[in-house]
Structure 1
């Protein structure tokens, strides 16, 4: 009797162990996948999600529905994704802000950017361009640093950004950290008003993507000084990198990636990664990414995880050195 009870118990345990595997093998079942975007509609993260969602749904044979949950630099939507079931039916558009900077910027964060998520796919990284008004006397990075040193008593040159903790703001802080030169941060509510005030000369300079500053460079209203990537941009071949211009080791991109809640089964992550990479590799999406000023990526989930850890450590140093606090 006791032996039969033990056999029944063993069979029950075995069946329970098989259930998750069976569930994984049938994923997706036709249930919609929620693609959480932790920013309002219209921005880069939202636009990329809409580029990816439809073909991803077609490849998986199930709808992929975008849900925008903006707030606190991507923290609100990221926290929601972190609490979602790890069953493959929730994915998140994560960024340098939500998954590398915010953990040092905010005193309290309702998720851990590393422990709360499983990396799925890196979509790409968008270098930023340091620009000044066409009327500025600065022609090179050396000119910018010298001009800011000369105004050190007044806080240095002013630098616009779309907000505290955004990648343009952090690019300025990284340059200040590495060069030892002070700048005065001037935060705006978005890149639009920031770039207009730089064009008008009310602010001395700014960092932003080619999507934002590119048209104004072409029109002659802004002068490009340097790019934040480790190599020159195809669209701005005559503009040096910040590293080439004297700040060796400077390398920064405003990256976009896809994450899933921690514990999402590996076979599901592998399938999501494979399908997203196929989409990113298509000529249409490659063209869209380059149009955003982004360099497409082919990182594996493991490589994305290691890259993210390095980014968290890098920006923790910059935030601490600058004494930045979220607004």
Structure 2
């Protein structure tokens, strides 16, 4: 990547899962939880002035009209599954020129002036930053759920352009990608848009046992290795590369955009397949050079748990 990451740029990519929020007693996913806590510590130390958040939607905000890419000029937290409520602090003086510039560069970005964003944004925002509004954020939606989808390579190109546009901003910018890794939620497999939350829950409950078996750790590990060792290869990533990891893995488009925006290799903070959440859960950040002790592995955690 020709543009080197600067000290005023950070990238965090993290999985989200409704199962994590339903696991109120924190019985599962201890390794991932430790990883997301470590990522939050790194974000706190970075002290971002602005967050550019690449997220997805689970057929709540965009149902009848589904853009491939949308940039929000104002947004609220939907509060589903325990995700934050309130209003995102979207800086119009940055977001509007960014949208105009992306359009001028040939990216057909839909400009959204008000929308409620579900846990595809809110869960990871809450984990990394806290309550709304806290830090100014530009939410950028990528369609990862309702075919036809723009290509993963297009997500990479979009992220690179966003990073270039904001590189001279003079602010500490945190790029976030939220979603993935391998998973196949039954409600997405059904390709049924417009479900209520009650209907969605019923579909997912009926297919949960089968979905537990659809995590693909080998695919997840290979993807994490790719963003660490060869991030520029994401420019040629395709749907065919993603399909083996399940329909929910299309959310890695958000990771691809964030990594491209930050123009930096990543390091894996934690990875854990969590069948109870039907998802391969991962978190990766820009290398920090920190000398803190590595997180315990899932097997180590199991050995010390009562």
TM-score band w.r.t. shorter chain = under 0.3
Q: Which has the larger radius of gyration?
A: 1
TM-score, normalised with respect to structure 2: 0.27
TM-score, normalised with respect to structure 1: 0.26
